[in-house]
Amino acid sequence: MSIRTRFAPSPTGYMHIGNLRTALWAYLIAKKDPEGVFILRIEDTDQGRLVEGATDIIYDTMRECGLKHDEGPDVGGPVGPYVQSERVRSGLYMDYAKKLIRLGGAHYCFCDEKTIEQAKAAKDVTDGNRSYDDPCRLLDPEEAERRAESGEPFVIRQTIPSEGTTSFDDEVFGTITVDNSTLDEQVLIKSDGFPTYNFANVIDDHLMGITDVVRGMEYLSSTPKYNLIYDAFGWDKPRYIHCPPVMKDEHSKLSKRNGDASFQDLMKKGYLPEAVLNYIAMLGWSPENNQEIFTLDELVKAFNVKHIGQNGAIFDPVKLTSINGLWLRGMDPESYFQLVEPYIREAVKKDYDLRKIASGVQQRANTLVEIPPMLDFYDTFPAYSNDLYFNKKMKTNPEISLVSLKECLTALLNLNDWSFDALHETLMALPAKMGIKNGQVLFPLRVAISGKQSTPGGAIEIAEILGKEETLRRLKSSIQQLENQ
């Protein structure tokens, strides 16, 4: 039997990084099997939590990340519809709930939801008692059915044996065993006729032939209840892979509220989708070797459920930034240029060779949003302090710099071929001639023509891009500034 996994987001807003990681792992698990199928199912039965446009965010994110689903609302498939609210309309959940009642796995309840919630809250579950035993389960089933049929408002609740235990094997958390007496008789069909997540997920996973359920570990404690439903119907149960949470730090989860938890926020901060996927794949999973950079295809090959840990994984923006930098530096120059051109244009409006600027940037920028501030010196030569000429590593100070810069000026004034090679040859001849180190010429020159301590690209690259006239203008003004000191 081939593997079938699903990603089942609720369209409640942004794509949380923890959810995206769940989607990714579900994708990887499916795609490891050459016949495997990855399904997208939209879980929108909680109508009160729906957010306009949220479904588009889900589609867009999946597309940008290259997590292509084989079946789903937009691409169709043999076991649709793939949107839960559309499934509700066909009455299928109600039909299955009634069937479950006949099988002894559920019962009608005539309390309203508010009363149920209050009773649940009032019960002390710490002493091992069931959190809420429904008195309606004692009603005569025929009598209950008659009342429901006659139009009296009802909900349908799960019937759970008060004795015994329920066990299941989770691929990450191992064997979990719970006393049935601790499981509450949860609502399966609400009074508005809609199924709860707790019911719909079981029915849909079964009807969609899901073999591997991949989801957040907040569902771990409810899974015994789901398995009791599978058992009551006599259905095969899926494998379970409950994922440890993605944490902000040791104590708190990444939350939608603090602005750094969604895929969209990371895109705004200048990360690449490939790098984000690469990084989040490893939040809670570790590859067998020390490989750090993975394409999606490489992740499919390397991923192994056995190496998912049980502990929450901390989302480290510094690590993400460094992985993003490696991805950016690994791009071929032309694709890189296409990607960064708008960011370069933000800072550079004058007519410089943007491809040459991009090649300097590629060696240095770790995120896209870092790019414009790095390049501000091209359009306007900034005011700067002569202190920039002090550099321990380069063994420079303002005095040595002044001597070097004057030599540079003389050499460059006579240079007519302003190509990189010619500039290189001319400038690299100076240190030897003066009996000083390369850095004692090139570092001051870079400061003198950029006004900055660090720049993407060295003195020669920058001089070439600025052109002769602008380079000499800046160089002369910097020499003047040193002489005035």
Q: Is 43 in the site for ligand GLU (CB under 6 A)?
A: yes
Shortest separation between residue 213's beta carbon and ligand GLU, angstroms? 6
Identify the bridge partners of residue 6 per DSSP, sorted by sequence position.
39
User: Cα–chain-centroid distance for residue 375?
Assistant: 29
Asked about 256 being catalytic, the answer comes back as yes
How far is the C-alpha of 73 from the C-alpha of 218, rounded, in Å? 26
Q: Is 325 in the site for ligand GLU (CB under 6 A)?
A: no
Name the closest residue to ligand GLU (Cβ): 215
Choice from 3, 4, 5, 10 touching ligand GLU (CB under 6 A): 10
Contact in structure between 43 and 197 (CB atoms under 8 Å): yes
Q: Is 243 in the site for ligand GLU (CB under 6 A)?
A: no
In single-letter form, the type of residue at position 102 comes to: R
Among the listed ranges 8-16, 93-101, 103-111, 313-321, the one in contact with ligand GLU (CB under 6 A) is: 8-16
> What does the per-residue mask of binding to ligand GLU show for 170-189, with x meaning CB under 6 A?
--------------------
Q: Is 215 in the site for ligand GLU (CB under 6 A)?
A: yes
Contact in structure between 387 and 428 (CB atoms under 8 Å): no
Give the relative orientation of helices 354-362 and 333-347 as an angle to the nearest 10 degrees: 110
Q: Is 446 in the site for ligand GLU (CB under 6 A)?
A: no
The answer for residues whose C-beta is within 8 angstroms of residue 220's C-beta and 6 or more apart is 170, 173, 176, 242
Shortest separation between residue 359's beta carbon and ligand GLU, angstroms? 43
Choice from 3, 4, 5, 8 touching ligand GLU (CB under 6 A): 8
Shortest separation between residue 284's beta carbon and ligand GLU, angstroms? 16
How far is the C-alpha of 25 from the C-alpha of 300, rounded, in Å? 9
Shortest separation between residue 190's beta carbon and ligand GLU, angstroms? 16
Q: Is 223 in the site for ligand GLU (CB under 6 A)?
A: no
Pick the catalytic residue from 190, 256, 356, 476.
256
Shortest separation between residue 364's beta carbon and ligand GLU, angstroms? 39
How far is the C-alpha of 408 from the C-alpha of 167, rounded, in Å? 79
How far is the C-alpha of 191 from the C-alpha of 48, rounded, in Å? 14
Choice from 159, 186, 201, 440 touching ligand GLU (CB under 6 A): 201
Would you say how long the chain is, in residues? 485
Number of residues that bind ligand GLU (CB under 6 A): 7
Shortest separation between residue 23's beta carbon and ligand GLU, angstroms? 10
Among the listed ranges 2-10, 263-271, 272-280, 408-416, the one in contact with ligand GLU (CB under 6 A) is: 2-10
Where in the sequence numbering do the catalytic residues fall?
A: 256
* Binding stretches for ligand GLU (CB under 6 A): 8-10, 43, 201, 215, 219
